[in-house]
Amino acid sequence: MSRAWLPLAGFVVLAGFLGIGLTLNPREVPSPLIGKPAPAFTLPTLADPQKQFSVDEAKGEVWLLNVWASWCTPCLEEHPLIEALSKKGIPIYGLNYKDKDPAALAWLRRYGDPYRLSVVDPTGRVGIDYGVYGTPETYLIDRQGVIRFKHVGPLNPQVVERTLLPLIEKLRAS
Amino acid sequence: MLRACMMALALGAGGMVLAQDGASGSTAATAPPSAPSPAPAPAAPAGVARPNAADPELERRLIAVTKELRCLVCQNESIADSHADLAVDMRNEIREQLKGGMSERQVLDFMVARYGNFVRFRPPLDWTTLALWFGPALLMLAGLGVLLSQLRQRRRLAAQRVIPELSDAERAALAALATRGPAGPIDRPAAAGPESSGQARRNDG
């Protein structure tokens, strides 16, 4: 091979790297929590602040924890998908993140409440434990209370059909 | 290739300098909004802002730790610099942790356990970060290698350059030039260059 091809080869390699870089989403940070037990919390529920809910109560089920807020526009975007998942019989718990209770309740009344229940995290402290950095976020938690999958940003049909549902199927079978 | 590599390095260095500048000016931003502002001390030198906090030592440690942590909302800013809600929450959380007796190391581990190594601006050295830590130096070395081999090759070619044998006519012309100057038997074109034509004019006069 002639040496004259070397600059072209260098360019092709560089363009290849940059091309791959363009297809990646820099906002998607791999979570270190995958395969780890879901961080414990006990928080008051949105519907009744006198009642509390803790992660342990969902043990024995394959369930979703969906981080949402009434101020979060992309949450509205994924809302029909969350409702569809709920209709399929998948238990979904909401973590109402850094929100005001009246605003959150009004949001659920207006757009529908697909959650088995929502707990409130007004300070975002539990959010930090879950590594939340962009609402909405969705965590798939197995029967043993281990986080199996995390999606940052609004769910989309592709993720639901190709990843989430097959994974739920598998975890339920095991 | 080499130039692109050098440029990337220069840009990287520039970015780091910018980040440093941003961090040093953020003392006021890291103070809690609810903290009572102490009365301005008359002894404070003009133009130097007093840290707006009850415990300057705690704030100093807070800034030192949060400068090491990436804000995940605006990813190229540190927790110390960012005004994103999440960064404010994290500063408050870390302030409580430091106040509660946690070391800087423990705070960093706490954040890494939740957000992964990506939150650290200086991630630990392991096999996934090898390219990150050594890639730039390797690129630099590769560039220097290419440069050196090019220079060496050029020097070798220069040394090998053969002076061609002169024909008899050329030898005669050369001798004539040496004795009589440029107005010899070789016809110089008029536009040989400003210097040589100037030389010729002076000879004529």
ipTM metric: 0.80
Is the full-model pTM beyond 0.90?
no
For chain A, give percent helix, strand, coil, nearest 5. 40, 20, 35
pLDDT over threshold 90, residue A103: yes
- pLDDT average, residue stretch B151-159: 88
- Residue ranges of alpha helices (H) inside chain B are 2-24, 56-66, 85-99, 104-115, 130-160, 168-180, 194-204
Residue found by looking up tokens 């953020």 in the block: B26
How many whole angstroms separate alpha carbon A127 and alpha carbon A95? 8
pLDDT tens readout for residues B106-122 = 999 999 999 988 889 99
3-state secondary structure of B55: coil
pLDDT over threshold 50, residue A63: yes
Q: B94, B108, B115: which to substitute to probe chain A, counting the most A Cβ within 10 Å?
A: B115
For residue A27, which residues of chain B lie inside 8 Å, CB to CB? 75
> C-alpha angle with apex B167: B165 to B168, nearest 5 degrees?
135
pLDDT over threshold 70, residue A66: yes
**Predicted local distance difference test score (pLDDT) of residue A158:** 92
Judged by CB atoms closer than 8 Å, whether chains meet at A98 and B72 is answered as no
**Predicted local distance difference test score (pLDDT) of residue A40:** 93
- pLDDT average, residue stretch B56-73: 89
pLDDT over threshold 50, residue B8: no
For residue A127, which residues of chain B lie inside 8 Å, CB to CB? 89
Of A69, A81, A54, A91, the residue nearest A136 (C-alpha): A69
Element holding A108 (H helix, E strand) = helix A101-111
Separation of CA B23 from chain center:
18
How many whole angstroms separate alpha carbon B67 and alpha carbon B24? 10
For residue A30, which residues of chain B lie inside 8 Å, CB to CB? 116, 118
Residue found by looking up tokens 């404010």 in the block: B88
Residue B89 is nearest to which of A31, A32, A124, comparing CB atoms?
A: A124
Judged by CB atoms closer than 8 Å, whether chains meet at A7 and B1 is answered as yes
pLDDT over threshold 80, residue B3: no
pLDDT tens readout for residues B13-62 = 433 333 333 334 333 333 344 444 444 444 545 666 555 667 888 889 99
**Predicted local distance difference test score (pLDDT) of residue B57:** 86
Count interface pairs A-B at CB distance under 8 A.
44
What's the gap in Å between the CA of B29 and the closest CA on chain A?
A: 19
**Predicted local distance difference test score (pLDDT) of residue B39:** 45
Q: How far is CA A36 from CA A68, B47, B117, B160, in A?
A: 22, 50, 16, 68
Residue B114 is nearest to which of A27, A98, A131, comparing CB atoms?
A: A131
Q: Locate A122 and state its tokens.
A: 């007004």
Per the prediction, chain B carries an average pLDDT of 73
How many whole angstroms separate alpha carbon A9 and alpha carbon B199? 51
Residue in A closest to B89 by C-alpha:
A124
**Predicted local distance difference test score (pLDDT) of residue B20:** 38
- Beta bridge pairs of residue B88: none
- Confirm if B67 and B23 have CB atoms less than 8 A apart: yes
How many whole angstroms separate alpha carbon B56 and alpha carbon B48? 14
Judged by CB atoms closer than 8 Å, whether chains meet at A128 and B114 is answered as yes
pLDDT tens readout for residues A1-51 = 577 888 899 999 999 999 998 888 777 777 889 999 999 999 999 999 999
Judged by CB atoms closer than 8 Å, whether chains meet at A32 and B4 is answered as no
How many whole angstroms separate alpha carbon B20 and alpha carbon B25? 9
What's the gap in Å between the CA of B74 and the closest CA on chain A?
A: 9
pLDDT tens readout for residues B79-110 = 998 888 889 999 999 999 998 999 999 999 99
Q: B114, B118, B119, B147: which to substitute to probe chain A, counting the most A Cβ within 10 Å?
A: B114
- Of the two residues B2 and A156, the one the predictor is more confident about is A156
Burial of B164-179, coded b for 16+ CB within 10 Å and e otherwise, reads eeeeeeeeeeeeeeee
pLDDT tens readout for residues B15-26 = 333 333 333 433
Q: Is the peptide bond before A136 cis (omega within 30 degrees of 0)?
A: yes
